[in-house]
Amino acid sequence: MIGIIGGTGFYSLIEKTEELDMETPYGKPSSKIAVGTIAGKKVVFISRHGPGHIIPPHKIPCKANIYAFHKLGVKQIISSTAVGSLKVNIKPGDFLVPDQIVNFTHGRDDTFYHGDDGVVHISIADSFCERMRKILIDVLKKEGVHEKGTAVIVNGPRFSTKAESTFFKSQNWDIINMTLYPECALAREMEICYANISLITDYDAGLKDEPTVKHVTVEEVLRLLKENNEKLRTILKEVILSLDDRDCNCMHALDGARIG
């Protein structure tokens, strides 16, 4: 079973769709869950921001989304996100498969383990599933892809100030986003493999010493998403065809992680 988290444009990929209106111990997921097949493989899909993009980044019910996938038997999650670039060579329209995150969010419930069932310390030293990352990179190579990068995750819903963006860039981080965390950590707690395709839609708040580079606007983000929607759907289909169900470290994330 493969889970997909992304924009509503991916609904058209799924064949023989059934919609589930699920309730979880953590509330309702972001949207009804579309269940069906893509290229003969069973998939389930959640629209991260809900139908009509009505849920802001800091209000996305990540725990409900990941728990619903877990209950449905999902073992691998492909996530698709729009991100801003912090480097001139990572251009709008490019694809990047991140390998690391830096969390700058606040106030988000980012664990299933609050001590009621013992103390659990999972490792996300590798922030994403390396097995899945390699598959994504292989599929994206013909499009051109940045094969790794560090994503700094900010709370949103506002964009960065120029000073914040300059700081993030000074740390040699690559892209900026509002939704990858805590999705990736929660998936690891459920021993679900998780990897991400990032589409670069803008240059964050502009780049220091690059006066010709314009800062991010909603209009520009939406334009790039619209232009690349069909390409993303094609890529997603190829990735699903390429995924296997080999054993993986992610599937044993809780081994030795529990104290008490």
Which residues are tagged catalytic? Answer: 202, 204
Enter the tokens of residue 160.
Answer: 């960065």
Residue 211: CB partners within 8 Å, gap ≥ 6? none
Residue 96 CA to residue 104 CA, distance in Å, equals 20
Residue 31 CA to residue 8 CA, distance in Å, equals 10
Residue 113 CA to residue 186 CA, distance in Å, equals 10
Residue 36's closest CA among 57, 20, 21, 52? Answer: 20
Pairing of strands 76-85, 175-177: antiparallel
Q: Where are the beta strands (DSSP E) in 124-224?
A: 145-146, 150-154, 175-177, 193-203
